[in-house]
Amino acid sequence: MARRTPESIKAADDALRPGLVVASHGRHCLIETPEGERRICHPRGKKSQCVVGDRVLWQPSEDEGTVERVQSRRNLFYRRDEIRTKSFAANLDQVLILVAAEPEFSEHQLARALISARAEGITPLIALNKSDLVVPFERAWARLAPYRRMHHGVLPLSLTSSGEADALALDKHLAGKTTLVLGPSGAGKSTLINLLVPGADVLTGEISQALNSGRHTTTSTTWYWVNRNAGTALIDSPGFQEFGLHHIEPTQLATLMPDIAEHAGECRFYNCTHLHEPGCQVIAQVATEDHDGSIAASRYKIYRELFEELEQAPRF
Ligand SMILES: Nc1nc2c(ncn2[C@@H]2O[C@H](COP(=O)(O)OP(=O)(O)OP(=O)(O)O)[C@@H](O)[C@H]2O)c(=O)[nH]1
Ligand SMILES: [Zn+2]
């Protein structure tokens, strides 16, 4: 085989075409060319395995193609449990976590998604849908009090009753960015995507049919252009329910939870775990019934539970 020099690699790359991964299923993916053409591609090998959001170099072969190379990633958003690592998407600007007044959301899952986003340096946004359901909404809004003070606040929505106004409010946050949308089932993720990308449901059907050669299984992750010229895109991905954080060290946790991080540097011991140490300023800041504090009891409970879980997690 000819020796691979930087020049020969460049010459080979020049013969390849650029593409953006817009959907994936199993080992194959759908890529979009800069001209907007879409085609199914297969990875050349393990190294060219790609995820939605990846920029790739590919080569046509009859009516399909081969992914020859995945360009280096700005970030990769993923989860990891005892058994496996699962990627959501790559090269994200932000993650929008959509929860609703009903069904009741899990604060634990929300906290996990936020921690994961911070670990990858991806801006998290939270929206609370179904503000028209007044009583459950009030309850959920109150549960989100610690989150309204952190990150970028919480955006209230009512996608089915004030869709137009909500679309405008969302656009302020989404314009020109690539946003991964996550949320528990029933929160209104499909409603949100169809509101911002009219016809998205039809497109999804077509994509999953193409990727599954006619079988009706849903694709795992899909890219939607909200405004191609402005570079505004949404990525729809399932998997909010089982959000494994086994890639995070327990001692990293405090830095990834802003309300805990705020006080973590003030403890007596530099390597304080904030679980039991004397002089711990995190513990001192936890709010209780008879003591005001800037850290909500629910947040500290999540910190403790996650710390224990990650301490017991097998390391890869
Ligand atoms: N009352 C109320 N209902 C809403 C609102 N937004 C969505 N829904 C309803 O909530 C239900 C779930 O919405 P979907 O958009 O299908 O939710 P999803 O998150 O995509 O759920 P999955 O398909 O299970 O993942 C539907 O019956 C919607 O009509 C809202 O603002 N208010
Ligand atoms: Zn401490």
Q: Give pTM, 2 decimals.
A: 0.91
Pick the residue whose CA is nearest to atom 14 on ligand 1. Answer: 188
CATH classification at residue 55 = 2.40.50.140
Kindly provide the ipTM of the predicted complex, given to two decimals: 0.96
Could you tell me if 168 and 284 lie in one domain?
Answer: no
Compute, in angstroms, the gap from residue 279 CA to the centroid of ligand 2: 7
Q: Containing domain of residue 264, as a range?
A: 250-312
* pLDDT value at residue 207: 74
Give CA–CA dist 198/170, Å, rounded.
Answer: 15
Check residue 88 and report its DSSP letter.
Answer: E
Across the chain, mean pLDDT equals 90
Could you tell me if 183 and 223 lie in one domain?
Answer: yes
Could you tell me if 190 and 137 lie in one domain?
Answer: yes
Give CA–CA dist 175/232, Å, rounded.
Answer: 5
Mutation to probe ligand 1, out of 160, 218, 241 (largest number of atoms < 8 A from CB): 160
132 a known binding residue?
yes
Work out the percent of the chain whose per-residue pLDDT is above 90: 70
Number of H-type helices and E-type strands within the chain: 11, 13
Total of domains in the chain: 3
Compute, in angstroms, the gap from residue 253 CA to the centroid of ligand 2: 12
Give percent helix, percent strand, percent coil of the chain, each to the nearest 5.
35, 25, 40
Torsion of CA 185, 189, 191, 196, to 10 degrees: -170
CATH classification at residue 149 = 3.40.50.300
pLDDT tens digit string along 42-86? 998 877 789 999 999 999 988 899 999 999 999 999 888 777 778
Q: Where are the beta strands (DSSP E) in 114-254?
A: 123-129, 154-156, 178-182, 221-227, 232-236
In this model, does residue 208 exceed pLDDT 80?
A: no
| C-beta separation of 79 from 244 below 8 A | yes
Of the candidates 128, 130, 162, 133, which has an alpha carbon nearest to the alpha carbon of residue 143? 128
Work out the percent of the chain whose per-residue pLDDT is above 70: 95
Mutation to probe ligand 1, out of 135, 158, 190, 194 (largest number of atoms < 8 A from CB): 190
Looking at 47, 70, 93, which one is the last position of a domain? 70
Give CA–CA dist 80/83, Å, rounded.
Answer: 8
Could you tell me if 223 and 86 lie in one domain?
Answer: yes
Of the candidates 271, 276, 279, 207, which has an alpha carbon nearest to the alpha carbon of residue 236? 207
Compute, in angstroms, the gap from residue 163 CA to the centroid of ligand 1: 12
CATH classification at residue 295 = 1.10.40.50
